[in-house]
Amino acid sequence: MRAARSSCYVDYAPSFGRGPFGHYICTAVNDGVLHGRPHNYTLADGDLLTLDLAVARGRVAADAAISFLVGKTRPAESVAMIETTERALAAGIAAAKPGARIGDLSHAIGTVLSEAGYPINTEFGGHGIGSTMHQDPHVANTGRPGRGYKLRPGLLLALEPWVMADTATLVTDADGWTLRSATGCRTAHSEHTIAITDDGVEILTLPSQARP
């Protein structure tokens, strides 16, 4: 019998949020980037939407996020920003292996983001994950190689490069949860949960059709 799946968000009440989140998925539009609390809003052509979902199956949680454009309008700046977070995520995953350091992953992610010209916020980033959604160690989206916690087989990490077009400063929405860019600029966010294996890494949050 397959283990039941449950959302990690409904009863989630960390110190940086206002009470339990109360919804099953984070939805952030345009200038929203993290912890987007769903609300009544009619999506428009060209909107940039981020979906972030964490689900527990049995005793193990997994966390993933994707940003994409709604409709047919595809502003070049938004496309480039989304693609940059996807490339940064791929770079972080490529740096992950037994014996590597957290700083190696942060450096790989940060190099892609900074070379593309985006400011990098270090308040929120990737994180350990396992029996609960957020655990140590913190995985900043920039850092120095060779520093930090040493990766070992069995470790689960959620890597999540995210950027805002012209600022590194966040503001909290009136809902007490949604984090937005301080300037109102657009944002993008990509995330996968990975497992460190004996000989490398496995991505646990790929779509089923993408699995080998």
Q: What is the pTM of this model?
A: 0.93
What integer pLDDT is reported at residue 36 of this predicted model?
Answer: 96
Query: What percent of the chain shows pLDDT beyond 90?
Result: 87
User: How far is it, in rounded angstroms, from Cα 112 to Cα 103?
Assistant: 14
Question: Mind listing the pLDDT tens digit for each residue in 11-55?
Answer: 888 888 888 999 999 999 999 999 999 999 999 999 999 999 999
Instruction: Grade residue 207 by pLDDT with cuts at 50, 70 and 90.
Output: confident
What integer pLDDT is reported at residue 2 of this predicted model?
Answer: 47
Model confidence at 210: pLDDT above 60: no
The structural domains of the chain, with segments of one domain joined by +, span 5-206
- Buried b / exposed e across 12-28, counting CB within 10 Å, b at 16+? beeeebeeebebebbbb
Query: What percent of the chain shows pLDDT beyond 70?
Result: 96
Model confidence at 208: pLDDT above 90: no
Question: Mind listing the pLDDT tens digit for each residue in 85-110?
Answer: 999 999 999 999 999 999 999 999 99
What integer pLDDT is reported at residue 154 of this predicted model?
Answer: 97
Q: How far is CA 123 from CA 10, 11, 38, 142, in A?
A: 23, 23, 22, 11
Q: Judge contact between 180 and 171, C-beta under 8 A.
A: yes
Largest interatomic CA distance in the chain: 49
Measured between its terminal Cα atoms, the distance across the chain in Å is 23
What integer pLDDT is reported at residue 59 of this predicted model?
Answer: 85
Average pLDDT of the segment spanning 145-172 = 98
Total residues found in the chain within this entry: 212
User: How far is it, in rounded angstroms, from Cα 188 to Cα 207?
Assistant: 20
The residues, any chain, with a CB within 8 Å of residue 32's CB and separated by 6 or more, are 50, 173, 178, 179, 180, 187
Question: Mind listing the pLDDT tens digit for each residue in 104-130?
Answer: 999 999 999 999 999 999 999 999 999
Model confidence at 204: pLDDT above 70: yes
User: How far is it, in rounded angstroms, from Cα 19 to Cα 12?
Assistant: 8
Question: At what angle are helices 76-95 and 102-115 packed, to 10 degrees?
Answer: 160
User: How far is it, in rounded angstroms, from Cα 5 to Cα 171?
Assistant: 32
- Buried b / exposed e across 96-130, counting CB within 10 Å, b at 16+? bbbebbbbbbbbbbbbbbeeeebebbeebbbbbbb
Over the chain, what is the mean pLDDT? 94
Q: Judge contact between 144 and 107, C-beta under 8 A.
A: yes
Model confidence at 1: pLDDT above 50: no
Q: Does domain 5-206 have CATH number 3.90.230.10?
A: yes
